[in-house]
Chain A
Amino acid sequence: MITKTTPEVGGMGHPIKRKEDARFIQGKGNYVDDVHLPGMVYGHMVRSPYAHARLKSINTEKAKKLPGVLAIITGEDLAKANLAWMPTLFFDKQMVLATGKVLFQSQEVAFVVAEDQYTAADAAELVEVEYEELPVLVDPYKATDPDAPILREDREEKSNHIFHWEVGDRAATEKDFQNAPVKATVHAISQRCHPAPLETCGCVADYNKATEKLTIYLTSQAPHAHRTLFSIVGGIPEQNIRVVSPDIGGGFGNKVPIYPGYVCAVVASLTLGVPVKWIETRSENLQSTGFARDYHMTAEIAADQNGKVKALRVKTLADHGAFNAAAQPTKFPAGLFSVCTGSYDFANSFCEVDGVYTNKAPGGIAYRCSFRITEAAYLIERAIDVLAAQLKMDPAEFRRKNFIQPDQFPYKTPLGWTYDSGNYEGAMNKALEMVGYKELRKEQGEKRKKGELMGIGISSFTEAVGAGPAHTFDIAGIKMFDSAEIRVHPTGKAICRMGTKSQGQGHETTYAQIVAQELGIPASDVIIEEGDTDTAPYGLGTYASRSTPTSGAATAMAARKIRDKAKKIAAHLLECSEEDLEWETGKFFVKGAPSKSKTIQEIAFAAYTNIPEGLEAGLEAVNYYDPPNLTFPFGTYICVTDIDKGTGEIKVRRFVAVDDCGNVINPMIVEGQIHGGLTEGLAIAFMQLIDYDENGNVQGGTFMDYLIPTAVETPHWETGSTCTPSPHHPFGAKGVGESPNVGSPAAFVNSVVDALSHLGVKHIDMPITPWKVWNILKEKGVVN
């Protein structure tokens, strides 16, 4: 149990208003494009119009003659500094600027630097590039055909196959399938999409030739890791690099990798000795940086006649585009995809994934989820529904029959994960009650008789967040701990710095609440700083819902160190022994004599003015927290849809989301995260798709084609919660920001499929557009 502090202290559980809001609502945020340095110049990228082509020549003469143009960098120039290629975060490399050939449309070919952004764009138009088109590979299923063009001539292995990865007990799973009376199969695509934070990626690289110091203002979700990578790859001593992540306009995984534009800006600044700004346009963002998903998955479930599941078999083809730029720090090529057994008690499971190259933008980043969790959760929640429908069982009752039970935790899954805690049925029951499930099923039956289309979709997902324990995760060998440093000032106020970086999650508020909870210093007296590698302790950044599980934990642990020291000072001030003291939020008092007490503020002052002999002055602490395990939030989402028979339009009538993320720091912020994640899930289910035509031309490359829901399409979200604390986290929290994005796509899709199930529809791939639905209705003879 968490002791509730007063609202004035504002510890855990208080819905206190955000500290960061004041600057944003007055237009005083400081995003990377707002950084303006004296003498700053601008970069603009020249990009390939072709998906696969030999680079015959690059002529920069005309561009160079344009007044205001300062430099043009090509791949050949970078090659001289051994920088034409850079390593990705998952054992591959990618071109910074193309040499030899281009491998996807919009690939970076040259970098133009000019005195202003308009001139830079003009000059980019004047760069003449001669291409010789090559056969294009778009379909991942054709990547390993004998006649497929080999894309990556740089690799020793002359194949488009990147990896085969498998996990689980193949033989035992096979046996279960051979003996199972009931089997269900679903082939589901988690389609290529893009996180598309409202702020695109960008940087200002500022190399000072006099001090030899390179400062990079960067849209970075992981500033320290990026500093180290810039140092290793660029050969710049790490102490001479300072990465500053200013305010970030949303990340969702898009701002985890290092992109060619950043490297080019750094090279340009090193060369010119002036600050170089590079901000990608939205089209560049969608077409070249950090796509997500593109998993082509098959799940099979073996079960008995009563609907008890036995085994799960998963086979997946992963399209990584031109380079395996999956920004993921697990030791497994498919990340955490093997949590695909979800919330269900399978005896056996086997999962295999093959990755391939195609002529598409590189990536495979984790879009608002841990690495490949959304794909996994979507697949199992779809497969469970397919099996329930096949057995003509209610999907809620079917789930109830197969859930992992509360007394089974910690629960070891057949694919090797250990879930920390859960009560899946509890969350589902609450969601069923909130939505009025029985009445809705009755209504659906009546509507069907009248020929009206209504669906109810359930998703009872399990998330895996908080990357992560050192035995499973690292980035370039660096363990995935995270950090917090707390300094208490003489007047009892504090400043804290963390290795994470908020992109809208509200860290300036929630971390302050953790300090308030642990030390009793009011949250309003605590300043949180992140994102400056010169001041913050080393950390691995914010993604995978890891901030609360790692830096949040580190904050509590650092605060507890401070409390330990405070106790010594209090004993000195109260002239008693430490054993005689008891802690109550914000003060130590003498056992049995509560009037004899010292507040944390009094103790802080004494730490600088009246320190006991033998103790160091000051009151500060730092902690690096390596989590013993991931945390496993969960929940049940229920979506109710009505479908217009004439147009195929899907209306989300109700959406109930019950989340369990353990103990909550700020319920207002948690609810906000859930609203946002559900809206992204809605977008994935119904709208978002980065598609390519047969020539490799990107079809979702602007906001005209890549659809983002507006306030009009977005339904009213209904939220609820249960609380099952994490047993291993210092204050029982789990992380929440990604659950709604992980759990909701299946609820939307299950709802639409449910609405059409009586017509024989078993599955529809995302995004489920009105056009798709209308075609199904036409095929089924529902509309003419």
Chain B
Amino acid sequence: MAKKQTVHVKLNGREREANVEPRTLLVHFIRDHLGLTGTHVGCDTSNCGACTVVLDGKNIKSCTMFAVQADGGELLTVEGLIQGGQWHPLQDGFKQEHGLQCGFCTPGMLMSSYALLQRNPEPTEEEIRWGISGNLCRCTGYQNIVKAVQFAVGKAAAGAAK
């Protein structure tokens, strides 16, 4: 076993660190070492996107990165979307538009959608579909996920108009 290394991240606004093997995947670091299990593992080939988190503003698949590569970075996971007790508009959207069924892909979908809206606050339907195309869902057929993102866009626009 290689010598353990300290990995330090800012996770959902909190400074966190743990000693891990250099080969530890970021998703295992988040789930097993930092104890946040909202981020899921759905495949072993970087296809499914269930492990999607936002690292330094960009959505990444945390199964395809070592924890040591994220050292010093700022991570946002599904657990960090809620702000001051208020759900993020995307979370409202997923509930209101029935954008989830089994819920397993949902955290990854939320994080990819979050990053999409950061890049492009008013995406078209096609842009939404491409924006979540790195995330697989076996339950919803995506249609209501698209509507959920559109709901969040509408809510953000309504908020800005106030």
Contact = CB atoms under 8 A, between A and B. Distances in A.
Interface of A: 17-18, 20-29, 31, 33-34, 36, 67, 117-118, 196-200, 247-250, 252, 281-283, 503-506, 668-669, 671-673, 675-680, 702-704, 708, 710-712, 714, 716-717
Nearest to B77: A27
Interface of B: 1, 21, 23-24, 28, 31, 36-45, 47-48, 50, 77-79, 81-82, 87, 91, 94-96, 98, 100-107, 110, 128-130, 132-146
B138 A21 contact: no
A266 B51 CA distance: 28
B130 A25 contact: no
A712 B141 contact: no
Given A26-B82, A675-B143, A711-B142, A282 B48 contact: yes
Contact of A18 (B36, B79, B98, B135): B98
Contacts of B28: 117
A739 B2 CA distance: 52
A708 B138 contact: yes
Contacts of B104: 29, 31, 197-199, 249-250
B120 to A, nearest CB: 15
Contacts of A20: 103
Q: Which 3 A-B pairs have the closest CB atoms?
A: A27-B38, A249-B104, A504-B102
Contact of B100 (A24, A503, A673): A24
A25 B142 contact: no
Contacts of B138: 196-198, 250, 252, 676, 680, 708
Main DSSP-derived SS at the B contact region: loop
Given A18-B95, A25-B106, A250-B139, 19 more contacts: A24-B106, A26-B81, A27-B38, A31-B37, A117-B28, A118-B23, A198-B136, A198-B139, A248-B102, A250-B101, A504-B139, A671-B98, A672-B139, A672-B140, A676-B138, A676-B140, A677-B141, A702-B45, A710-B129
Q: Is the interface of A mostly helix, strand, loop or mixed?
A: loop
A609 to B, nearest CB: 37
Given A198-B50, A675-B144, A703-B45, A22 B38 contact: no
Nearest to B94: A25
Contact of A704 (B45, B82, B91): B45
Contacts of A24: 100, 103, 106
A506 B101 contact: yes
A306 B40 CA distance: 57
Among A23, A118, A702, A711, find the residue whose CB has the most chain B CB atoms closer than 10 A.
A711
A283 B132 CA distance: 23
Nearest to B107: A27
B25 to A, nearest CB: 9
A679 B101 contact: no
13 contacts: A22-B95, A27-B38, A27-B78, A198-B102, A198-B104, A248-B102, A249-B42, A252-B138, A283-B44, A672-B139, A710-B135, A711-B128, A716-B143
A504 B39 CA distance: 18
B95 A675 contact: no
Max chain A C-beta neighbours (<10 A), residue from B43, B79, B138, B146: B138
Nearest to A21: B95
A672 B106 contact: no
Contacts of B129: 710-712, 714
A276 to B, nearest CB: 16
B47 A672 contact: no
A712 B100 contact: no
Contacts of A29: 38, 103-104
B133 A710 contact: yes
B101 A504 contact: yes
Contact of A21 (B50, B77, B100, B143): B100
A711 B42 CA distance: 17
A22 B85 CA distance: 13
Contacts of A117: 28
Nearest to A196: B138
B17 to A, nearest CB: 19
A23 B21 CA distance: 31
Contacts of A26: 38, 78-79, 81-82, 87, 91
A142 B79 CA distance: 54
Contact of B142 (A503, A668, A677, A714): A714
B86 to A, nearest CB: 12
A703 B43 CA distance: 7
Contact of B45 (A67, A247, A282, A677): A282
Contacts of A714: 129, 141-143
A28 B82 CA distance: 12
Given A21-B94, A712-B133, A249 B100 contact: no
Contacts of B96: 17
B69 to A, nearest CB: 17
Contacts of A676: 101, 138-141
B12 to A, nearest CB: 10
Contact of B42 (A282, A503, A712): A282
A193 to B, nearest CB: 13
A259 B79 CA distance: 33
A249 B136 contact: no
A506 B102 CA distance: 8
Contact of B141 (A21, A23, A67, A675): A675
Contacts of B40: 31, 33, 198-199, 249
A765 B36 CA distance: 45
A680 B41 CA distance: 21
Contacts of A505: 101
A104 B107 CA distance: 35
A353 B154 CA distance: 55
Among B40, B141, B142, residue most surrounded by chain A Cβ atoms (within 10 Å): B141
B102 A717 contact: no
Given A27-B36, A33-B41, A250 B102 contact: yes
A702 B143 contact: no
Nearest to B96: A17
Contact of A712 (B44, B87, B102, B130): B130
Nearest to B104: A249
Contacts of A22: 95
Contacts of B37: 27, 31, 33-34, 36
A249 B144 contact: no
A184 B132 CA distance: 44
A675 to B, nearest CB: 3
Contacts of B128: 711
A28 B39 CA distance: 10
B44 A281 contact: yes
A679 B24 CA distance: 35
A675 B133 CA distance: 17
Contact of B140 (A34, A247, A281, A675): A675
Contacts of A672: 98, 101, 139-140, 144
Nearest to B41: A33
A24 B140 CA distance: 14
B110 A25 contact: yes
Contacts of B94: 21, 25
A671 to B, nearest CB: 8
Nearest to A279: B41
Given A17-B95, A17-B96, A675-B144, A710 B38 contact: no
A309 B107 CA distance: 51
Contacts of A282: 42-45, 48
Contacts of A704: 45, 47
A722 to B, nearest CB: 21
B76 to A, nearest CB: 11
Contacts of A281: 44
Nearest to A678: B141
A714 B143 CA distance: 8
Nearest to A680: B138
Contacts of A197: 102, 104, 138
A691 B130 CA distance: 29
Contacts of B95: 17-18, 21-22, 25
Contacts of B144: 672, 675
